[in-house]
Structures are given as C-alpha cells and as structure tokens.
Structure 1
Amino acid sequence: MPGRLAGKRAFCTAAGQGIGRATALAFAAEGAEVVATDINDAALAELARHDGVTARRLDVRDSAAVEALARELGPVDVLFNCAGFVHHGSVLDCSEADWDLAFDLNVKSMYRTIKALLPAMLEQGGGSIVNIASMASSIKGIPLRFAYGASKAAVIGLTRSVAADFVGRGVRCNCICPGTVESPSLEQRIAAFDDPVAARKAFIARQPMGRLGRPEEIAEMAVYLASDAAAFVTGTAMVIDGGLGI
C-alpha cells in the first residue's frame, strides 16, 4: 500500500539524531523522498544507507549554504525544521552570546530555510512546513529554560505568521511542542550535571506519565502534519508532552 507521504519530497534539518532522525526515517517509511541534512558527517553516512533518504551536509546557520541547496534541489513538498539548542539557566545565567546562539539556531535557522524553500512551494501550488517548538517555557514555564523558552515561543509566533500569510496559497505551517524526549542531546545535558543519575530521575519525575517521550512518537505527529490527512490544519502548535502541560 502507498504510504501517507507517497510521491512527496521532504527536506529535514538536524536529521542526524533524536527527533530529526526519527522523523526523516518516518517520512521515508511513508513513501517520501527525503533530503536529510545535518552537520554530523558520521550520522549522515548512516542515514544515507536507508532507502528513500539522501543525506546532505548543511549548516542551517549559513544563509548562503541554505540558499544554494534550495536552488539545487528545487521544489519540495514538506519542510521539517528541527535544528535547536537548549541553554540551561535563568536570565542571570544567560550571556548575550548564549542568547544570540539560541535565537540564531532555534529561530533564525527556520527563517532561513522557510525563506529559501517557500517560493518554490508557492510556485508548485502548496506544501507543508513543520517546525519543532517546545513545551518548555513557550507553553508552560519551566525553570532554567530562559533563552530556550524565549526562542521556542518565537518559533510559535513564526509558525502562525507564516500560516496566516500563506493560508490562501496552499502552504500550511504548523509546529510541534514536545515535552521531554529521550535523545542524544538530552543524554549530553544529563551527563553535564554533577549527579547525572539524579538529573535523569528529575527529568522523568516532571513528566506526569512517569516516562520520557520517544523520538518516534514526535515523528508520528510530524508525519500527520506533513500528510494530506492534515489538509485542514494550519497555524497550530500541536502539543505532545506526556501531560506536562496539565
């Protein structure tokens, strides 16, 4: 049977690990032709072994590189923006460099990819943009997520603005707000604590379901939003958080 994304071409950022990798593979499993991008060459080499996946190195902080790849590829039907960075700390811990990195990687990278790929989407008559936001601070205040929460709140605003501007031209734009998800990025942050065992327990304890989310669960939401099943869905912030926002 044809998959939910059969005949579609998808462009994914930060596809090397975690939610990005799970989503790129889910898109391919559903029949999409996937261009999976990242800056991790080893992760890209592994992704390239999967059917339906073309791996390309891309730094989403490099506007010229984003624009060049967009010109080379031509139209895509789906843009999945997943690149992000979690800064730990309050406003008092956040330097201007921390703030600038959070907004450049978490928000401006989406501006770059959308601006580069949207014109061809419009020319072909439509497409779906799916951005990764977060529950953390952008939906619910989470301690020590100042820069991250502010930047992910901006992702929600960016998403709704793009949706409103192009709702009449066939382009849908939605974002996903995950709770805490098991990923290499989370493992790195946990390892940085003085007591990683206690830190992991704390991450789990704040999830009402008593467990962390799985990247594949977020990928399922991304598949839905990318597919024609979500043809009447735009401008939404879809929460998938294990009850964190209750």
Structure 2
Amino acid sequence: MTRTPEAAASPVVQHPRDFAGLTALVTGGASGIGAATAALLTARGARVAVLDRDPSGAPEGTVPVLADVTSDEAVRAAVAEAVGELGGLHILVSNAGIGAVGSVEDNSDEEWLRVLDINLLGMVRTARAALPHLRKAAAERPGSASITQTGSIAATAGLPQRALYSASKGAVLALTLAMAADHVREGVRVNCVNPGTADTPWIGRLLDQADDPAAERAALNARQPIGRLVTADEVAAAIVYLAGPSASSVTGTALAVDGGVQGLRLRPAAD
C-alpha cells in the first residue's frame, strides 16, 4: 500500500539576520500564512507591522495595526500608522484574502463583489498607499523595496467548486505581472506566491463544514502530488525569499508552493 507522507516536524532553526535594518508590513498577518510570514520576517531581523481586521493574533514582536482592506481610508491610515511606527517601509506582503466555494452558478453578484473587493481591490488599495514609501526606500537603499502578493494555484490550475476564488486569484496573478512592469524602473520588485491547498484556519473551517471531515481532508491531501497539504511555514518561506535581498533580481515571478499541482501529472498510485 502506498503511504501518504506527513509534514515533517519543524526543526529548531537558527535564522540568518539578513533582514536587519529592513521594515515590512504584512496584511492579513494575524493568522495562517500571514502570521507565519510576519513571524519569519521578525526572526530574520526585520521590523514588522501586521495589518488585520483583528490584529490580536499578531506574532510577538510585531506592531499590530487595525484595518479592513475593503476601506481605502482605513488602509491609508493604517499604512501611515505602520510607517510611523517602523520609521519607513521596505517590504509589503499583501496577503489578506478570503476563500469562496462553488461553481459559477452558486454565488450571487453580491458575493462576487465581496470576494473581489477583499482579494483583489484589497491588494490595490494597500499597494497604492504603500508605493510612495517603497519608492523612497528604493532610492535610499537600492534593492530593498518589494511587494509580494499571496495568490493561489487556483490561478493556473482548474479546480472544481472554486470559480469565484479562482477568478479572484487569476486577477492577482495578472495584477502582479502588470505591477512588476510598472514599478521595475522605480526599484520596486513585485512578485507573488501561489500556494496549493494549505493547512490554514480557512481550510480548517471548510473541513469542519463537510459531511465527512476526515474523507474531505484525505481528498485534499490526495489532490497534491506530495500527498499532503502544504504548511503555512512552507509558504511563508517562499514569500520571505521573494521579499528579501536574496531575490534582488527576481520580479514579475509567480512561485508555486503547491506540492506539485501545477506541473506534475502522475500515474495512478499502485495499492
């Protein structure tokens, strides 16, 4: 029988301090992938602010900032607050987003507008507010300014019952490429990470609503060629790579952290 691999236990890691002197803002940074990213940036020496509707879960050592990305006024005020606390802004991680389930027939116009407002326009509002500060950082410290956006493998692979979510993340991928072209000569790199199905609170809630949560989790595990969900820490590691000095020549790139969904076509496993 083929065994399904489990995620390896996370070892104790001594992180390099390669983000020392840099400042970062992570949206949706109080849980899941965002919290893992904020914690890793902090561990590697960055000063980090977390923008969230409920920043109470912001990792230790970060600056919590309350805002809802559906409000342009709130986002501008929150970015200004974060920049004031941090003393500048080198890195934006635009991660805030929500899920959606169903075919193209299953969600109302109101739900389509709500999800696009958060998943797409939330990134637009945050980037608009952050770009003046990122340009300043790029001028003062060339190579330091970046925007990294959380997309999804749903942008490049057709997944069942994810029409609305896929549309929103496909737009994030296109937005990332366009922004990279717009801002490359200003010294601001723009990339995105496309996670596969990740073991996050949203997936946990989705499983809780299933008729058979164990069977649904097994199906999600089996959908990814590595045989398990990706972890928030694995996605965070990719985000931090793209955001940081090691990726100073990387822009306009979508990095899949998806357990092989995007590129692998395996033969059926033998029992």
Report the equivalent of 2:164: 147
Residue in structure 2 matching 1:32, options 46, 52, 70: 46
Matched to 1:4, the amino acid is: D
Report the equivalent of 2:114: 101
Q: Is the 8 A contact 2:145 2:188 kept in 1?
A: yes
The answer as to 2:120 corresponding to 1:135 is no
The answer as to 2:257 corresponding to 1:244 is no
The answer as to 2:98 corresponding to 1:85 is yes
Report the equivalent of 1:192: 209
Q: Is the 8 A contact 1:5 1:226 kept in 2?
A: no
Report the equivalent of 2:226: 209
State the 1:12 CA deviation.
Answer: 0.4
Instruction: Give the SS at the match of 2:172.
Output: helix
TM-score computed with the length of structure 1 as normaliser = 0.94
Report the equivalent of 1:123: 136
Q: CA RMSD in A?
A: 1.3
Instruction: Give the SS at the match of 1:91.
Output: coil
The answer as to 2:180 corresponding to 1:167 is no
The answer as to 2:75 corresponding to 1:66 is yes
Q: Give distance in 2, aligned partners of 1:219 and 1:82.
A: 10
State the 1:71 CA deviation.
Answer: 2.6
State the 1:224 CA deviation.
Answer: 0.8
Instruction: Give the SS at the match of 1:242.
Output: coil
Q: Give distance in 2, aligned partners of 1:93 and 1:121.
A: 40
State the 1:39 CA deviation.
Answer: 1.5
Question: Which deviates further from its counterpart, 35-44 or 205-214?
Answer: 35-44
Q: Give distance in 2, aligned partners of 1:240 and 1:179.
A: 6
State the 1:70 CA deviation.
Answer: 2.2
Instruction: Give the SS at the match of 1:80.
Output: strand
Report the equivalent of 1:219: 236
Aligned length: 240
Matched to 1:9, the amino acid is: T
Matched to 1:17, the amino acid is: S
Q: Give distance in 2, aligned partners of 1:23 and 1:73.
A: 17
Structure 2 unaligned segments of length 5 or more: list them.
Answer: 1-14, 265-271
State the 1:18 CA deviation.
Answer: 0.8
Structure 1 unaligned segments of length 5 or more: list them.
Answer: none
Q: Which has the larger radius of gyration?
A: 2
% identical equivalent positions: 40
